[in-house]
Amino acid sequence: MRARNGVADRGSVADDGRDDIPAAVPALRRPRDAGGRPADRPRPRRLPGTAHRRGRSGGLPLQWQPFAGASATRPRPLRESADRALLDLIADRAAKTDDLRTALAELRHRQASSELLGIVDERGPGWWVPGLGRAVEHAATRDPIRAVPLARGWIVSGDLQLSWFGGVILARFGAVADTALVVAEMERMWQRDDLCHERLIEALARHGPAGSEALPFIRMLWRRSPHARVRVECLRAWLAMDPATTDEPLTHGLRDSQEDVRLLAVTHSPRHMPARGQLAYLRDDPLEAAEVRAAARARLLALG
């Protein structure tokens, strides 16, 4: 390594001082290519059809750029199969997983898919295949009257998959009286460190003040959950169930680390001076998201 005016000169890639490395460190003496990488390092395997070169404009690699083309239609190899044949295939305990997945995907396109609920109930605990959850939710949407009584049994079955199905169905379509069952399921999920509380909370918010039985758990989750999506749904449900007690969470929400929570808190911000001061800060913060800044400006004007 040369020195120039008392400062070490690293030189070019070809002359980077490796001649000074002792022979006991052979890994550091490996020849380098023009980019400074070890010349004998294996190149990463490139997937067929994937562009690993930069765009003509010199921007991001093509595989990182947003895809603007038309999405391809998924194949439906069982399109011509009768409804009964699909249901019989799903009910067959000897059927292969790939066949079951294809049948479930096809069934989601059809009105008759609500019959899947009876098959799931008959198969009982421990049965799961890829795509079953989406198919069950689709079936419940088609026929909630049939789904809700089954869900009340699933949610207390002790099976993780069935209890989740039951919680989703009861939260979306159940009566106010089913709120306690859904809250119990969310408490079990919390004990297991499971995610997806936000889906159940979002659905329970439809009950409004009548669903306030869920509020103690929602308040706890608001204070303790590290997940932004959970916090925003907790705050939204709290506003729907008991808006008179939301000044404190809304004030804290104005300082939340996640944009969605701040935006919701800004929209419903209380009138007191600490909240107004935070609204003014968000309005003038150049690093804040444009939508939050605009909402803060509009809220301040509305508060007068």
Mean pLDDT of the chain: 83
Higher pLDDT, 1 or 219: 219
Contact 98, 130 (CB under 8 A): no
- 211 inside domain: no
CB burial string 248-269: b at 16+ within 10 A, e below: ebbbbbbebeeebbbbbbbbbb
189 pLDDT tier (thresholds 50, 70, 90): very high
pLDDT at 77: 82
Q: Tell me what the mean pLDDT of segment 122-135 comes to.
A: 88
- Quote the domain boundaries for residue 284: 242-303
- 270 inside domain: yes
Contact 250, 270 (CB under 8 A): yes
CB burial string 101-114: b at 16+ within 10 A, e below: ebbbbbbbeeeebb
Q: How far apart are CA 1 and CA 244, in angstroms?
A: 73
pLDDT at 199: 93
pLDDT at 109: 80
pLDDT digits (tens, 9 = 90+) for 163-187: 999 999 999 999 999 999 999 999 9
End-to-end CA distance of the chain: 69
pLDDT digits (tens, 9 = 90+) for 192-207: 888 789 999 999 999 9
Identify the weakest region by mean pLDDT among 50-54, 116-120, 225-229: 50-54
pLDDT at 114: 85
pLDDT at 14: 46
Contact 292, 259 (CB under 8 A): yes
pLDDT at 32: 63
**Three-state secondary-structure class, residue 82:** coil
CA 135-168-74 angle, 5° bins: 25
β-bridge mates for residue 7, sequence order: 4
- 274 inside domain: yes
Q: Does the structure show a pLDDT above 90 at 236?
A: yes
pLDDT digits (tens, 9 = 90+) for 41-98: 555 555 554 444 444 445 545 455 555 455 557 788 888 888 889 899 999 988 898 9
Q: How far apart are CA 266 and CA 291, in angstroms?
A: 10
pLDDT at 4: 46
Contact 218, 242 (CB under 8 A): no
pLDDT at 130: 86
β-bridge mates for residue 8, sequence order: 3
pLDDT digits (tens, 9 = 90+) for 1-40: 444 444 444 444 444 455 555 555 555 555 666 656 666 6
- 143 inside domain: no
pLDDT at 8: 46
Q: How far apart are CA 292 and CA 279, in angstroms?
A: 10
Q: Tell me what the mean pLDDT of segment 242-253 comes to.
A: 96
Strands (DSSP E) contained in the chain are: 2-4, 7-9
Contacts for 121-130: CB closer than 8 Å, 24+ residues apart:
121/150, 121/153, 121/154, 122/91, 123/91, 123/93, 124/159, 124/162, 125/157, 125/158, 125/159, 125/161, 125/162, 126/159, 126/161, 127/161, 128/161, 129/97, 129/100, 129/101, 129/104, 130/97, 130/101
- 202 inside domain: no
Best mean pLDDT range from 31-45, 101-115, 208-222: 208-222
At 180, list the tokens: 């306690």
Q: How far apart are CA 143 and CA 254, in angstroms?
A: 41
- 286 inside domain: yes
Q: Does the structure show a pLDDT above 90 at 269?
A: yes
- Of the chain, the percentage scoring pLDDT greater than 70 comes to 76
Instruction: Indicate the pTM of the whole model.
Output: 0.73
- 153 inside domain: no
> How far are the Cα atoms of 4, 6, 112 from residue 251, in angstroms, in the given order?
60, 59, 48
- 213 inside domain: no
**Pairing relation of β-strands 7-9 and 2-4?**
antiparallel
171 half-sphere exposure, CB direction, 13 A CA radius: 25
At 216, list the tokens: 């103690």
The count of domains in the chain is 1
